[in-house]
Amino acid sequence: MQVFGVFEDHLYKRFYPLTKTKPLYFLKLGCGDLVDLYSRSLGERIQVYFLRKELEKLFRNKKINPYNINQPLILLNGRFLPNDYLIKLINEASGKDLAFITPRGLPVVLSLVSPKPIKVARRVLPYASINSYKAIQRHLKVEILDAYFLDPLENWSRYLLKSVEFVRKKIGRGVEIGENVKFDTSEGPISLGENVRIEDDVILKGPLYIGDNSCIREGSTIIKSIVGEECSINGFFNRTVLQGKVITGEKIFLERSIVGEKVYIGSYSFIVGKPSHEIIIADYVYIGPNTTIPKGTRIGIGSAVYGYLDRDIGDFYYYADGVILKEKKKRIREIDEFLKHFFNLSLSEEEKLY
């Protein structure tokens, strides 16, 4: 019996700092993460996860980097959105020592049957490097694909549209919709999860997904975006992904950005990315009121930002109009207070290590 698994390729670094604490395939870049979308497409549960060594302690509840597995493996690149052609490739590869790769040499599907390639994969895949793929492919028949795969790094709009289409249930249970709410599905579907609340005078334009227990507050406009679970937001959002548990003040402007989990964005903040220069905001970030963040900026885990941000910043920094300080212990205390106040949660010891 073959086992399905996922792995990262070396381009996870393009999503730094979000991928500093989780593998790319666990990012919610669409309606759920890539593992969830693969499971839906295959009708099979993903059982094996290859991820970087430094992340192992954060995912102890998963079967990660297994050293004792000897069953045939179908390993999927956790960056590409599954489609009918990809499912066909998986079926073709079943029972063979075979690799399907892109013209640039990136593996899409690895089918491992013989003991040698399985052993090599167990050893090298956690390093997520080009040399890892070459080491495995020496033991496999390799086929180069000329088909196009939807990749969030290269075609965000199409990726988003196809991801939303994975959700069959368009309106979940317990949804509350206020007065004068406008739904525009001319360019893509709109899907609402369980217990979503849409307040008065909201405009929603698809493709759009709003996750369970989220609230879109009065007068907001949400266009071609993903809003994760347990968010409460107000303002204008365009081509943006909120991973989940994002809280905003009033009338923020957020465009072409990927925002991590458990983030607060203050009122009247202006955060605008551009195509191929998306803004990436890591988990546990605090953005103060009236903050401006220009295109291509990246904000590290747990940092707090005020005023005009004119540079990338790392983890657990305070930044205010050109002044920058590293204050990890203080930020961890503040993050803990934020989580308790809004979500009745606390940081785990593993999370505090980061």
pLDDT tens-digit series, residues 67-84:
677 788 888 888 877 777
HEC string for 231-249 = CEECEEEECCEEEEEEEEC
Least confident of 22-31, 62-71, 158-167, 317-326: 158-167
Q: How many CB atoms lie within 10 A of CB 172?
A: 17
pLDDT of residue 165: 61
Residue position matching structure tokens 């990726």: 159
Share of the chain above pLDDT 70, in %: 90
Asked if residue 147 has pLDDT above 70, the reply is no
Question: Rounded to whole angstroms, how far apart are CA atoms 265 and 254?
Answer: 10
Would you place residue 290 in the very low, low, confident or very high pLDDT band (cuts 50, 70, 90)? Answer: very high
Question: Rounded to whole angstroms, how far apart are CA atoms 305 and 353?
Answer: 21
Q: Mean of the pLDDT values across residues 5-33? A: 83
Asked if residue 153 has pLDDT above 70, the reply is no
pLDDT of residue 123: 82
pLDDT of residue 45: 84
Asked whether the beta carbons of 316 and 300 are under 8 A apart, the reply is yes
Structural domains of the chain in order of their starting residue, each with its CATH number: 3-144 (3.90.550.10), 170-353 (2.160.10.10)
Share of the chain above pLDDT 90, in %: 29
Would you place residue 313 in the very low, low, confident or very high pLDDT band (cuts 50, 70, 90)? Answer: very high
Higher pLDDT, 235 or 155: 235
Asked if residue 348 has pLDDT above 70, the reply is no
Asked if residue 140 has pLDDT above 90, the reply is no
Residue 3 makes CB contacts below 8 A (sequence gap 6+) with 47, 48, 69, 71, 72, 73, 74
Which 8-state DSSP code applies to residue 82?
A: P
Q: How many CB atoms lie within 10 A of CB 57?
A: 11
State the pTM of this model: 0.86
Asked if residue 109 has pLDDT above 80, the reply is yes
pLDDT of residue 134: 80
Kindly report the average pLDDT of the chain as a whole number.
84
pLDDT of residue 287: 95
DSSP string, 161-212: HHHHHT---SB-TT-EE-TT-EEE-SSS-EEE-TT-EE-TT-EEESSEEE-T
